[in-house]
Amino acid sequence: MVTESYTASMTSKVGPKGQVVIPKAMRDRLGLRPGDEVTFELEGRTVKVQPATSGAPLYGRLRDHDLVGMLEADRRDEPR
């Protein structure tokens, strides 16, 4: 069993590409798996990392837009 004090504060180094590893105990508590998305939020000098919440489904989001007309207009306006 993981205790709160163990996962409350851990140290990790920032790699050359700005990457850090979320400690396994914290990933497990958050249910994070490889490929999951996380969000970053800056609060003063603190970076808050949390699992990304899924937004509204994408299906049907653009149904009120004339995408074909927009693409045709864009194609007409391209320099030849």
Contact at 8 Å (CB) between 5 and 26? no
User: What pLDDT was estimated at residue 55?
Assistant: 65
Q: Does residue 74 sit within a domain?
A: no
Specify the CATH number for the domain of residue 16.
Answer: 2.10.260.10
DSSP class of residue 78 equals: S
Domain containing 15 equals 1-53
In whole angstroms, give the CA distance from residue 70 to residue 77.
11
38 phi, psi to nearest 5 deg: -130, 160
From first to last of its 80 residues, the chain has per-residue pLDDT tens of 444 555 567 888 999 999 999 999 999 998 899 988 899 999 999 999 888 886 666 778 788 889 999 999 999 999 88
The identity of residue 73, as a single letter, is A
pTM, rounded to two decimals: 0.52
User: What pLDDT was estimated at residue 79?
Assistant: 86
Q: Does residue 22 sit within a domain?
A: yes
